Amino acid sequence: MAEPVELLICTTCKRPGFDPEAERPGAMLHKALEGAALPANVALKPVECLSNCDYGCSIVLRGGARRWTYVYGNLGEGAADLVIDGATRYAATQDGLVPWRERPEHFRKNCIARIPPQEAP
């Protein structure tokens, strides 16, 4: 069985000028992903504030002590299919390193951070 992966969705993010009364894009994205067909080893988790508000909704893909962790931004409520594609590719790796050309284009252009594994190989 594949190692567990966490897909963290910031549910509080907003860009400057965002209507404070409107539902947050990350909360809408999380709702869209709750019923989605994510790989069995991917756990969807809502989180509050990833401190990346200027770049829209952000997500994190992480998994285990030997995988790289990625933070992606500029996502919105309509990005569910994109996130599923990226999470599926990430979950299929042993080390979290999806070859650059195989990543969804949005992930290639909106990577906020790449964090090394706790246990470097």
Give me the count of residues in the chain: 121
Q: Tell me if 82 sits within 8 A of 28, measured CB to CB.
A: no
Helices (H), the chain: 25-34, 80-91, 105-109
Question: What angle is formed at CA 32 by the lines to CA 105 and CA 26, rounded to 5 degrees?
Answer: 70
Helices (H), 7-79: 25-34
Whole-prediction pTM: 0.91
What pLDDT digit, counting tens, does each position of 32-50 carry?
A: 999 899 999 999 999 998 9
Using 50, 70 and 90 to split pLDDT, how confident is the model at 120? low
- Domains identified in the chain and CATH numbers: 5-115 (3.40.30)
